[in-house]
Amino acid sequence: CGRCGSPNGDKPDEIARLCPSCGALSFPRISPAVLAVVRRGGRILLARNVMHKTGMWSVLAGFVEPGETFEGCVRREVREEVSIEVRPDGYLGSQPWPFPDQLMVGFAAEWVSGELRPDGVEIAEAGWFGPDDHPPLPGPGSLSRRLIDAFFAGVS
């Protein structure tokens, strides 16, 4: 327990830890992150992260900073990672990743200006792709893949 130092136990009716000594209740922390489906005409922005050595490409993503809105995070992450300006225009869905501690929140955004320039720190390559000419994508269980598939199917 962070309050009294006693060992915590599980709280049976919710995802929390309960101190049997002082009654302090602790909930797991959540780190929100956005995924951005950036559109330009009939194509979407996909990028390969420098950590993905398998060649998988995905939508851009990043963690929300303290005091930042989801929409502000979309604009900032896209600007930092590939140097373009976008206009977020809609919530698309979410997916919890309790281990480690993330909540992924998907947004649509429209390209406004700029040319793609991957930062080389997080993003190795980036490009605009359609349903018939895209590189390898994330697995079907991920929110990023569901968002990509929905765009390619004409849903988003």
Those residues of the chain that have pLDDT short of 70 are 98-99, 155-156
Query: Which pLDDT score is estimated for 99?
Result: 67
pTM, two decimal places: 0.84
Q: What share of the chain is helix, strand, coil (3-state, %, to 5)?
A: 15, 40, 45
The CB-based long-range contact list for 20-25 (8 Å cut-off, 24+ gap) reads: none
**Contact status, residue 60 vs residue 86, Cβ threshold 8 Å:** no
Q: How far apart (Å, rounded) are the C-alpha atoms in residues 56 and 140?
A: 13
The per-residue pLDDT for 1 is: 86
Q: Where are the beta strands (DSSP E) in 41-114?
A: 43-49, 60-63, 85-97, 102-113
Q: Quote the pLDDT of residue 156.
A: 42
Tell me the pLDDT tens digit for each residue of 61-100: 999 999 999 999 999 999 999 999 999 999 999 999 866 7
